Amino acid sequence: MKMKVLLFFIFNVFIFAVFADTKDVSMSKNFKGLQSKSLSLNERITELEKKPITPPVGSCAEKGYGVYFIGEPLFWRFAEEGLEYAITGSFNLLSQGITSYRLVLNNGKTHEPDFDWDLGFRLGLGYNFSYDGWDLYSSYTRFHDKVKDSIKKDGDPNVIDYLVSGGTGEYISPFWVAQLFAPPGLMNYAKARWNLKIDLIDLNLGRNFFISRFLTLKPYIGLKNGWIGQKYYLNFIKYYYPTDPSQIEREINIKMKNDFWGIGGNFGLNTSWILGRGVSLFGNGVFSILEGKFHLRYRLDDFKPVTTYTFGSIVADEYPPHEDVYVTIKEIHTFVTMANFSLGLRFDKSYANDSFCLGIKLGYEYNIFFGQNRFMNHQYDFTFGSVVGPQSPNGPNFFTDRGNLTSSGATGTLEFNF
């Protein structure tokens, strides 16, 4: 709390110091000559009519070539809706008859990958035209991320004598498992790993202009080309309780891909609130619509090693080792939308007789990629009503469009104008 109060006090002192002397602050020659109190109202109107309605800001390197380069390190944290992969809790397996039992779960907990902070970057190159203050700007954004999570429970999921009593303990109920020839049941170990690759290319045409002496706007339009690739790996293991808890009785591996490519338009607006002495506040936003295609792939490997029972001197296999494999592919042609918002503090200073200018920005940025989770989420019936064969005569079913991909975090910017 003391640190927050101190930072708030320092910020207010900084703002007061900036506004204490703003007499010499002007980023455009178009506003000179209108501040003199000796001009009459008619003279001021005449002078104003000589100026453009929205004078362009121009480059802070007035004697440069109009070229600028931007480098931005990105310290972001990504997250995605709909990636829950398991539920854990105390399951009570209650006997319901010869061929079935039912689950009772109280106070279960849902698990998803442990999203964390990571680094990316953005590079940009622009040029200021002499035509009405327009500028053309192109940028490349790259962010690759990996996150994972795992859980382990030591309950005995192998209820043999369920006619007499049910089993209780800590178990894992898996998601994303397509039921093939037997329901997935309860597990003892689960692991999830999510990989993300984002590559975006933007090309925008904009105009930066004054709407007052201390406020500038820059609307722009342009093109966006984007690649967003996701991979989701899941691993579920059930151990051979109670005979040998170190032996694997069943292992399910799931590999999913969710790749998107699209191209479309950008519509954005940058704002700069000039405080003085080269310092300004900025708030920027952009909305994008892309037409593209999702390529989806789902693969399940359900492996059951040899399980043996000993009856006196006779050793018999319960079933031979085998592996069930299920693979499906789907393509979706659709439109997706993206939005970005950033705000922060900026400082600009000219050098070498206004032939070179350095800009520094510190801000916080938000991104949302709508409807990016299209992983094929296969479902099964939680009721264990059949010993052999799928619960449904239609086989595994699935649905997509699980949620949005989002990111937020700090962004630092170095801008060179020359």
DSSP run (H or E) holding 41: helix 41-49
pLDDT for residue 53: 76
Question: How many Cβ atoms from other residues are within 10 Å of residue 83's Cβ?
Answer: 25
Q: Which of 29, 51, 73 is the last residue of a domain?
A: 51
94 within a domain of the structure (yes/no): no
What is the C-alpha to C-alpha distance for residues 267 and 291, in angstroms, rounded to an integer?
Answer: 15
Residue 178 lies in a domain: no
Tell me what pLDDT residue 377 has: 80
**Is residue 201 one of the residues assigned to a domain?**
yes
One domain, residues 47 and 64: no
pLDDT of residue 18: 44
Q: Does 102 map to a domain?
A: no
Does 128 lie in the same domain as 38? no
pTM summary value: 0.79
99 occurs within a structural domain: no
Q: Are residues 74 and 201 in the same domain?
A: yes
Alpha helices (H) along 246-311: none
Residue 70: which CATH number?
2.40.128
Beta-bridge partner residues of 307: 319
Residues 130, 8, single domain; the answer is no
Residues 309 and 245 in one domain: yes
**Quick one: 64 and 41 in the same domain?**
no
What pLDDT shows up at residue 33?
A: 45
Confirm whether 394 is domain-assigned.
Answer: yes
Tens-of-pLDDT digits for all 418 residues of the chain?
Answer: 444 444 444 444 444 444 444 333 334 444 444 444 466 666 666 666 666 678 888 888 788 889 999 999 999 999 999 999 999 988 777 655 545 566 778 788 999 999 999 999 999 999 999 888 899 999 999 999 999 999 999 887 766 544 444 566 888 989 888 766 566 778 999 999 999 999 999 999 999 999 998 999 999 999 999 999 999 999 999 987 766 777 888 899 999 999 999 999 999 999 999 999 999 999 999 999 999 999 999 999 988 776 555 555 555 555 566 678 888 899 999 999 999 999 999 999 988 888 889 999 999 999 999 999 999 887 654 333 444 444 444 444 556 567 999 999 999 999 999 9
Give the pLDDT of residue 156: 78
393/371 Cα distance (integer angstroms): 31
275 is a domain residue: yes
Residue 39 contacts residue 190 (beta carbons within 8 Å)? no
Distance between CA atoms of residues 143 and 54, nearest Å: 37
pLDDT of residue 270: 97
Tell whether 105 is covered by a domain: no
| Whether 338 and 407 share a structural domain | yes
**Looking at the structure, do residues 46 and 66 belong to the same domain, yes or no?**
no
Q: Is 221 exposed, middle or buried (0-12, 13-18, 19+ CB in 10 A)?
A: exposed
Residue 191 identity (one-letter amino acid) = K
What's the pLDDT at 378? 73
Same domain, 39 and 69: no
Assess whether 21 and 143 both reside in one domain: no
Predicted local distance difference test score (pLDDT) of residue 55: 87
> Do 42 and 121 reside in the same domain of the chain?
no
Q: Which domain holds residue 406?
A: 60-81+115-151+190-417
Same domain, 335 and 236: yes
Domain count, the chain: 2
Please report which helix (H) or strand (E) contains residue 193, including its range: strand 189-207
